[in-house]
Chains A and B, each alone.
Chain A
């Protein structure tokens, strides 16, 4: 109850630092989701619609990576970008960019794996029709993705959900720096460590509201899109 009141007080009028944290959170999740989908959707479509040598193994590998613990993803990216690491010279550690990279490592397998299994089930008749029409391979792939977009939306939203809720990887590579790399989840963790449990819960409520708003907006966009057809 106390948490609800505090959430309300933070939002009306909006707290300056909260807005900044929400901004970083949205920016990070937007880029993580977009990049992961740009790579994961076509990759998943390829795996889902084609037959090739080593496919079964590749699928097992992807399914394993879908369970990659965020902390491990964070550690891998940290090791790569640390001062003496292979990419240390880029000075990306403790920036939003490196948080996006760590999250992509987590999310690309999820998007790829889910897209592949969606298309494997639903796309066979589609592919046969498309092939019958004499379409090129690239066109077939594009057609599959665009025809299944309603179900793929849930993949994209799942990716967004994983990104916005994730704390293990972003706290390691982002460092939870105030006014710079602090996002909602790491802010919640910090408040919990401070012992301000109900304030932490208030932030959690706001994070849920944000996720809900994004979901509503996304499904609205897709519905409009379907109606246009």
Chain B
């Protein structure tokens, strides 16, 4: 009896695995019917390596289906911190990148990995913190003076500490006054993603530099207030870079070009400018003047 049961269980397991496999294999056929209208591109898969902020904020899930329906391409989005996003492209695992860390982007191009840096949109970093604002940063002119007040009062501050675009922007604002996580107890280097850091800031009633989109998407669960935005030093520019086919082989060059062309098109611009209004009442990303 027991043996029978074991065999049945094993059979069930195999069947369920087969079912899973079957599903993924039948999936493309659904896509084919969709792209029947259009001539399907020869190499239909585009690998986009990007940072968490554009993906987790919902921007890409909002834009890409429009692009996919219009062109028949299928975009595979890998989202990670800017450091990892760029490294994946260097390792030959992406056709293009969408990131926000100017220095690293220029390094990427100087290394011959990228074709051209195309800045196309921006948003603002914001400083969030405890609702009673113990360091009194709400009236500050810009992020640098707010950081100085936080440092002076030794109020708790959560840093991403993961070499992401946000972390690099934070370090740039600190400049030479960057705290030392080893000795300054109030400065907490979390080494985690934006969401995890905001949760931690809420728990510890600490200040945190974040992109506005992630904060708004989590605001309900957080015991934090948006204290400072739109300082000149808080601008956050996003760029598209196609990976250089002369340096990396096996790239989908046509696909990368098609996606970049579309992202810079008027159609995409109109969509980007509108994004966030419906859900949060404010636009989350702004277009750079062409």
What residues make up the interface of A, taking CB atoms closer than 8 Å to B?
82-83, 93-94, 171, 175-180, 182, 186-187, 190, 192-197
Contact = CB atoms under 8 A, between A and B. Distances in A.
A124 B84 CA distance: 56
B182 to A, nearest CB: 5
A93 B190 CA distance: 13
B84 A179 contact: no
Contacts, number: 66
A197 B189 CA distance: 20
Given A194-B162, A196-B83, 14 more contacts: A171-B192, A175-B190, A176-B191, A177-B188, A178-B188, A178-B190, A179-B189, A180-B188, A193-B81, A193-B162, A194-B81, A195-B80, A195-B83, A195-B163
Contact of B80 (A93, A171, A179, A193): A193
B85 interface: yes
A177 B188 CA distance: 6
A195 B81 contact: yes
B162 A94 contact: no
Given A83-B203, A194-B162, A178 B189 contact: yes
B181 to A, nearest CB: 5
Contact of A177 (B86, B191, B202, B223): B191
30 contacts: A83-B203, A94-B200, A171-B196, A175-B190, A175-B200, A176-B190, A177-B189, A177-B190, A178-B161, A178-B182, A179-B181, A179-B182, A180-B188, A182-B191, A186-B191, A187-B191, A190-B161, A193-B80, A193-B83, A193-B162, A193-B164, A194-B83, A194-B87, A194-B163, A195-B80, A195-B83, A195-B84, A195-B85, A195-B86, A195-B88
Among A175, A176, A196, A197: residue with most chain B CB under 10 A: A175
Contacts of A171: 192, 196
Given A175-B200, A178-B189, A192 B181 contact: no
Nearest to B202: A83
A111 B184 CA distance: 40
B184 to A, nearest CB: 10
B267 interface: no
A217 B115 CA distance: 54
Contacts of A82: 203
Contacts of B189: 177-179
Contacts of A179: 181-182, 189
A1 to B, nearest CB: 16
A190 B84 CA distance: 10
A178 B91 CA distance: 28
A197 B92 CA distance: 14
A196 B87 contact: yes
B106 interface: no
A5 B237 CA distance: 37
Interface string B240-279: 0000000000000000000000000000000000000000
A190 B203 CA distance: 21
Interface string B79-107: 01101111110010000000000000000
B204 interface: yes
Contacts of B88: 195
B191 A190 contact: yes
Given A178-B161, A195-B84, A195-B86, A83 B190 contact: no
Contacts of A194: 81, 83-84, 87, 162-163
Contacts of A93: 203
A190 B162 contact: yes
Nearest to A178: B189
A194 B90 CA distance: 13
Contacts of B204: 94
A160 B186 CA distance: 33
A85 B85 CA distance: 36
Interface in B48-74: none
A94 B203 CA distance: 9
Given A94-B200, A194-B163, A178 B191 contact: yes
A42 to B, nearest CB: 30
A94 B191 CA distance: 13
Nearest to B188: A177
Contacts of A83: 202-203, 223
Top 5 A-B residue pairs of the complex, sorted by shortest distance between their CB atoms: A195-B87, A195-B84, A178-B189, A195-B83, A194-B83
A190 B163 CA distance: 9
Contacts of B86: 195
Contacts of A195: 80-81, 83-88, 163
A20 to B, nearest CB: 9
Nearest to B49: A195
B112 to A, nearest CB: 17
Nearest to A20: B182
